[in-house]
Chains A and B, each alone.
Chain A
Amino acid sequence: MNYLNAGYGLKSWLLTLDHKRVAWLYFISITGFFFLGGAAATLVRLELITPAGDLLSSDAYNQMFSLHGIVMVWFFLIPSIPATMGNFLLPLMLGARDMAFPRLNLMSWYVFILGGAFTLTAVIAGGIDTGWTFYTPYSTMFSNGAVLAAATGVFIVGFSSILTGINFIVTTHKMRAPGLTWFRLPLFVWAQYATSLIMVLATPVLSITLVLLGVERAFGIGIFDPALGGDPILFEHLFWFYSHPAVYIMLLPAMGVVSEVIACFAHKRIFGYKVMAFSILAIALFGFLVWGHHMFVSGQSIYAGVAFSLLSFLVSVPSALKIFNWLATLYKGHIRFDAPMLFALSFIGLFLIGGLTGVFVATLALDIQMHDTYFVVAHFHYIMVGGMVSAYMAGLHFWWPKITGRLYPEMWARVSAIIVFAGFNLTFFPQFILGWAGMPRRYHAYAEEFQLLNVFSSAGAGMLAVGYLLPLLYLLWSLRYGARAGGNPWDARGLEWTVASPPPKETFATVPRVDSEAYAYDTPQ
C-alpha cells in the first residue's frame, strides 16, 4: 500500500491532502503550461528563420512572445521545482508526516489553476501583446489586448506562490524531526527555504502593483498615468522589485537540486556545506537590492544606476562560491555519469555562462549598448532554461524512482540530456553574437545580415523540442514498463531514501531520529 494505490477515484486526487499527491497535481499542470509556452516559442523561432515578417503578422508575433514569457515565467518557472519536487520532498527530507498546512497546500494548487484559467482566457479573448512585463502606460492606455484578464491571472497565481512560501517556511521551522538541526538539513531544504522567503517578501509587491495597474485599466483610477502627473517609471521600479528576486525564486531551488545530485553521483560529502547554505541566503538577500539594473536606460538617476550596478556585481560572489564548491565536490569523487548527473553538469556549465554574461549586462556603461538586444535574451535564457530547466530535469530524473517506484530508461535519458545540452547551445549562443552585433529583441522582421545566426538558433530550438519531448515519452512509458526501483537505487543519503519507493501513504510510521549530517557519503548507509 503506497500513496499512489491508496485510492484511485478522481476525488481521491482532486481533494487529496497528501503533499505527495498535490505534487503530482502540480507536475501535470506545469507540464501542460511548459509545452504551451514551448509552442509559442516554436512559432517565434519559426518566424525568425527569415528576415521578412512573413509567417506571423506583427501583432500575432507580439502576442506569441508575450504568451511565451507570461506562461513560462509564472506558470512554469516560478512554481516548477518548489511546487513539484519541493512539495513532494520537503516533508520527506524533514522527517515530517506532511506539510504544516495540508489544506493550504491543496488550495494553492486550485489558486494556481484559477490564475491559469484567467491567463488562458486572455489568450483566447484576443491575446496580449505587452510582453511579460506589462509596462505602463502601454498596458494601461494603449494596448488592445486582454491585459486585464492576463494581469488578473498573474495576480491570482501570485497568491499560490505566497501560500506555498508560507507553508514551506512554517514546515521547515516547526516540522523538523528530532535531531535534525539547521546545519544537518540537505541543501535542497535550504534552497526551498530561501526561495520561500523571497516568495513571501516579494510577491505581495507584485500583487499591489498589478492591482494598481488593473484599477487604472478598468476604472481609470490612474496611478501611473502621466496625464495626471503619474510616473510610469514607478511601475517599473515596483515591477522589478518583485521580478528580479523572482529570478532567484527560479534559480535557488535549481541550485538545491544540483547540490543533491552532485553529492550523490560524486559519492562525496558536499564541499563547504556551510558556505553553500549561507551563499543561498546571501543570493536571496542581494536579489532584493539589484532591481534597478533592469532600468539603466529608463531615465533613473545616474547615481542609482551606479549603485545598482555595483550591487549587481555583488550577486556574482555567492554564485561563484557555489560553482567552486560543486567543482571541489567533484574533485576526487567517484563520479558516475547517470542522466541526472549529466543534467546537473550541464547546469553548472550553462549557469556559468549565464552568470558571467550577467556581469556584462550589470555593467552600467556596457548595458547601454546591450539593453533590449538579443544579448540580454541569450543571457537570461542561459540562466533560466540552461540553468533552471536543466536542474529541473536533473531533479526529475534523480527522484523519479522515489516518486513513481520505477526506473526510467537510462540510455534514452542520457541521449535526451545530450540533445538538450547541444540544442540549447545551438539555440542561444548565436543570440549572444546577434545581440552583440546589435539585433534588437521583440522585432518580428530583421536585417538580412542576421539571417544565418537566426537559422542556427531556430534549428537549435528544433533540437531542444526533441530533447524535451523525449523525456515526456519515456517517463510516461516507464510508469508502466520501467523496472521497479528499490528504496534507494542511487545509493544516496538522505531521509527520503530511507522510505520505500513509492513512499507509503503515511510516509513515516514513526518519526525518524536524525543523528548525522546530510551527505554522510563516507559512512555506509
Chain B
Amino acid sequence: MTRPNNQTTVIVAHQFETLEQQFDADLLGMWLFLVTEALLFSGAFLALAVYYHQYYDTFSAAARELHWLLAGFNSVILLTSGLAVALAEQAADQHRRRLTLWWLSATIALGVAFLGLKGYEYYMEYRAGLVPFLDQPFAFSGPDPHNAMLFYNFYFAITGLHALHMIIGLMVLLVMLVLTYRWREGARVARQVRIAGLYWAFVDIVWVLVYCSLYLLGR
C-alpha cells in the first residue's frame, strides 16, 4: 500500500488526451455558461430599460428611495471579494495550499457580508412600505404610485435573482474550500479554483450593472 506521492502525476479524465485539452475544454465550458447567464439577466434588464424609457419620471423618483450609499458600500465589499478570489486563483496556481485556503475564506466572508447587508436593505424597504407584493401596504409617497410599483417589482426581481446567484456562488466556493483543504492534486485544484473564480467574477460584474441601472437612476 503506497500512496502516489509524486506531485507531478496528473490524472486526465478518460475522454481527454492531455491536461491542456481538459483545461481548455473546462474553461470554454464555463465561459459559455457565463454567456447564458449574461443573456438570462439581459432579458430582465431589457424589460427594465423599456419601462424606464416609458415611465422616466416615476422610475427616477422611485429609484431615489433606494439606499444608494449603503448599496455603494456593499458594492465595495463585493468587488473586494472579487479581488480575494483572484488572489486565491493565483495562490492555487502556485500550489500554495494555506494561502489559497485563506483567500477563499476571505472571499466567502465578504460574500456573506454582502448578502447580510443586502438583507438589511430589504428589511429597511419593508419597513418603509416599499414592497408592492405579498399583500403588503404600499406607501410610496411620490407621483404615480402604480407605475412606481412596477419599478419596485423590477428591483426585487433583479436583486433577488442576483442574490440567488450569490448563494449558488457561495456554495461553489465552499466546495472549493473543501477541495483545497483536501488537496488531492495541485493542478486539478488550481483548475477548479480558476473556474469557480470565473463564476464569482461574473456575479461581481452583474452586480455593477445592477447597481448602475437600479440605484443610480435619475441621480
Binding site for B on A (CB under 8 A): 91, 96-102, 104, 162, 165-167, 169-171, 173-175, 200-205, 207-209, 211-212, 215, 219-223, 225, 227-231, 234, 238, 511
Contacts and interface: CB of A to CB of B under 8 A. Distances in A.
A175 B15 contact: yes
Contacts of B33: 162, 166
A169 B54 CA distance: 39
A525 B54 CA distance: 65
A221 B156 contact: yes
A209 to B, nearest CB: 6
Contact of B46 (A169, A225, A228, A238): A238
B29 A166 contact: yes
Contact of B51 (A169, A174, A221, A229): A229
A207 B165 CA distance: 14
Interface centre among B47, B133, B149 (most CB of A within 10 A): B47
Given A97-B15, A204-B37, A209-B43, A229 B150 contact: yes
Given A223-B157, A229-B146, A100 B25 contact: yes
Given A175-B15, A222-B149, A229-B147, 14 more contacts: A98-B15, A166-B36, A167-B29, A175-B25, A200-B32, A202-B39, A205-B39, A221-B132, A223-B153, A223-B157, A228-B146, A228-B147, A234-B50, A238-B47
Interface residues of B, number: 39
Contacts of B133: 219-222
Given A220-B134, A221-B153, A212 B47 contact: yes
Nearest to B161: A211
29 contacts: A97-B15, A99-B15, A100-B15, A101-B25, A101-B29, A102-B15, A165-B32, A166-B29, A166-B32, A166-B33, A169-B32, A170-B25, A173-B28, A175-B25, A200-B36, A203-B36, A204-B39, A204-B42, A212-B47, A212-B157, A220-B134, A221-B157, A223-B153, A223-B154, A228-B153, A231-B50, A231-B54, A234-B50, A238-B43
Given A97-B14, A170-B29, A174-B24, A204 B153 contact: no
B44 interface: yes
A175 B14 CA distance: 12
A219 B134 CA distance: 6
Given A166-B32, A208-B41, A229 B15 contact: no
B14 to A, nearest CB: 6
A97 B33 CA distance: 23
A221 B131 CA distance: 10
Interface in B152-196: 153-154, 156-157, 161
Interface of B: 14-17, 21, 24-25, 28-29, 32-33, 35-44, 46-47, 50-51, 54-55, 132-134, 146-147, 149-150, 153-154, 156-157, 161
A202 B39 CA distance: 8
Contacts of A173: 25, 28
Nearest to B42: A205
Nearest to A100: B25
A227 B153 CA distance: 13
Contacts of B47: 212, 223, 234, 238
A511 B35 contact: no
Contacts of A204: 36-40, 42-43
Contacts of A211: 157, 161
Residue of A173, A229, A234 with most partner-chain B CB within 10 A = A229
Contacts of B15: 91, 96-100, 102, 175
Contacts of B153: 221-223, 228
B26 to A, nearest CB: 8
A184 B154 CA distance: 48
A5 B150 CA distance: 59
Contacts of B41: 208
Contacts of B25: 100-101, 170-171, 173-175
A253 B13 CA distance: 29
B21 A174 contact: yes
B136 to A, nearest CB: 10
Nearest to B39: A204
Q: Which of B21, B36, B150 has the most CB of A within 10 A?
A: B36
A335 B32 CA distance: 42
